[in-house]
């Protein structure tokens, strides 16, 4: 009986020292794993399981069925805001997680910013050379830049602003136009105009990168880190930050996470600058903790190439959703002429 009780207690203790983290896979999760997850788990003495998931729809299913297995998930800020409003996420305990050195707007009631990235456009250098498109108007210009395109097809995040800028809306006016139903329809109509030249409507970061790496399309919208990986893997790929959309990924804890308290401590750990400053070594995304720029691990040359909310021209529509329970839209203050 004593042996059985000891074994049960040991098993319970082991289970309390386990976490399951879910992200989107591919080069992004590889980077998170090397820079954040594995070092933090080792420092905390945690047994970590990593899974690849398709997004908040998976969290919704787990919470609704009462079968929650994820302790921490990577998310877009807008997705996290919606999920929080639906009651699918645990509120962040900011007595545990220190965001005092985070950029304003990169954390909310339900998620803590993990990185800053850019939605931009990439092109095949075999098709157009190094001097490819330099604006969203160029992306739409099929006479000047003939060839096939790929465009996001599973979300409006990063899909509406480019269309309006291609349609002549000034950078500083994009979100005032998108505040109306007419403006949203105008953006959608502009995408429809390009549709005959869109070969693929992509639905994941891995897909957008593979399309460009394999030369299946001549241009694509997508995320700068994925394009950078495609280029480093031998793809004839170049991209531009001009008129790029700044956006923020974040971490969230599903409602009813089996190890919520440990997940909160783990989130606090991976939010520290000594972890965030390693992320650009594996994928060119900027930190949300500004102290990460001061550790000496990010050189000035690398910092100059990272997406940064203080220097990017426009924020993605995804980031217009605040982390409040109401989920009301708001503009982030990073629109620059």
pLDDT at position 204 is 87
pLDDT at position 305 is 83
Number of H helices, E strands in the chain: 15, 9
Written as tens digits, the pLDDT of the chain (337 aa) is 555 544 444 444 446 799 999 999 988 999 999 999 999 999 999 999 999 999 999 999 999 999 999 999 999 998 999 999 999 999 999 999 999 999 888 999 999 999 999 999 999 999 999 889 999 999 999 999 999 999 999 888 889 999 999 999 998 899 999 999 999 999 999 999 999 999 999 998 889 999 999 999 999 999 998 999 899 899 999 999 999 998 899 999 999 999 999 999 999 999 999 999 999 999 999 999 999 999 999 999 888 888 876 555 455 544 433 333 333 333 333 433 3
Cα four-point dihedral sign 292, 296, 302, 303: positive
In 3D space, the residue among 75, 10, 8, 20 whose CA is nearest the CA of residue 260 turns out to be 20
pTM confidence score: 0.82
SS3 240: strand
Structure tokens at 21: 């983290």
In 3D space, the residue among 231, 51, 66, 216 whose CA is nearest the CA of residue 149 turns out to be 216
pLDDT at position 154 is 85
- Residue 335 Cα distances to 17, 35, 172, 255, 316, angstroms: 43, 30, 6, 34, 10
pLDDT at position 78 is 87
Measured distance CA(34)–CA(280) in Å, rounded: 11
Structure tokens at 172: 């500083």
In contact, 92 and 109? CB cutoff 8 Å: yes
Structure tokens at 317: 């529509």
Structure tokens at 209: 């990168």
Counting Cβ atoms within 10 Å, is residue 86 exposed (0-12), middle (13-18) or buried (19+)?
A: middle
Helix, strand and coil percent figures for the chain, each rounded to 5? 40, 20, 35
Walk me through the domains of the chain, giving residue ranges and CATH numbers.
2-115+248-304 (3.40.190.10), 117-246 (3.40.190.10)
Measured distance CA(250)–CA(271) in Å, rounded: 10
pLDDT at position 308 is 73
In 3D space, the residue among 275, 298, 255 whose CA is nearest the CA of residue 98 turns out to be 275
SS3 247: strand
Q: Which residues make beta-bridge pairs with 252?
A: 73
- Backbone φ and ψ for 236, nearest 5 degrees, come out as -85, 75
Structure tokens at 315: 């924020």
In contact, 68 and 259? CB cutoff 8 Å: no
Locate all alpha helices (DSSP H) within 17-76, ordered by sequence.
Answer: 26-32, 38-44, 56-65
């Amino acid at each position: 009986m004593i042996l059985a009780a000891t074994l049960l207690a040991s098993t319970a203790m082991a289970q309390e020292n386990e976490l399951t983290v879910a992200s989107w896979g591919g080069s992004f999760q590889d980077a998170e794993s090397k820079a954040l997850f594995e070092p933090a788990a080792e420092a905390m003495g945690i047994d970590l399981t990593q899974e690849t998931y398709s997004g908040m729809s998976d969290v919704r299913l787990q919470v609704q069925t009462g079968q929650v297995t994820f302790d921490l998930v990577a998310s877009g800020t807008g997705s996290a805001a919606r999920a929080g409003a639906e009651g699918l996420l645990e509120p962040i305990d900011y007595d545990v997680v220190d965001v005092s050195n985070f950029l304003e707007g990169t954390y909310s009631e339900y998620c803590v910013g993990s990185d800053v990235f850019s939605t931009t456009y990439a092109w095949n250098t075999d098709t157009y050379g190094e001097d490819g498109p330099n604006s969203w108007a160029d992306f739409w210009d099929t006479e000047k830049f003939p060839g096939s395109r790929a465009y996001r097809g599973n979300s409006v995040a990063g899909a509406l602003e480019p269309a309006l800028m291609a349609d002549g809306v000034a950078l500083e006016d994009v979100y005032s136009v998108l505040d109306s139903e007419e403006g949203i329809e105008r953006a959608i109509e502009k995408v429809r105009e390009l549709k005959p030249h869109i070969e693929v409507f992509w639905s994941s970061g891995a897909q957008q990168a593979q399309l460009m790496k394999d030369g299946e399309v001549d241009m694509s919208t997508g995320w700068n880190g994925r394009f950078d990986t495609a280029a480093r893997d031998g793809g004839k790929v170049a991209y531009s930050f001009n008129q790029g959309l700044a956006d923020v990924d974040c971490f969230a804890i599903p409602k009813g996470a089996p190890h919520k308290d440990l997940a909160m401590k783990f989130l606090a750990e991976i939010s520290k600058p000594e972890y965030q400053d390693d992320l650009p070594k594996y994928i060119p995304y900027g930190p949300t903790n500004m102290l990460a720029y001061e550790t000496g691990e990010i050189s000035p040359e690398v910092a100059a190439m990272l997406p940064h909310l203080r220097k990017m021209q426009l924020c993605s529509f995804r980031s217009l959703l605040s982390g409040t329970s109401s989920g009301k839209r708001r503009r982030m203050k990073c629109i620059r002429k």
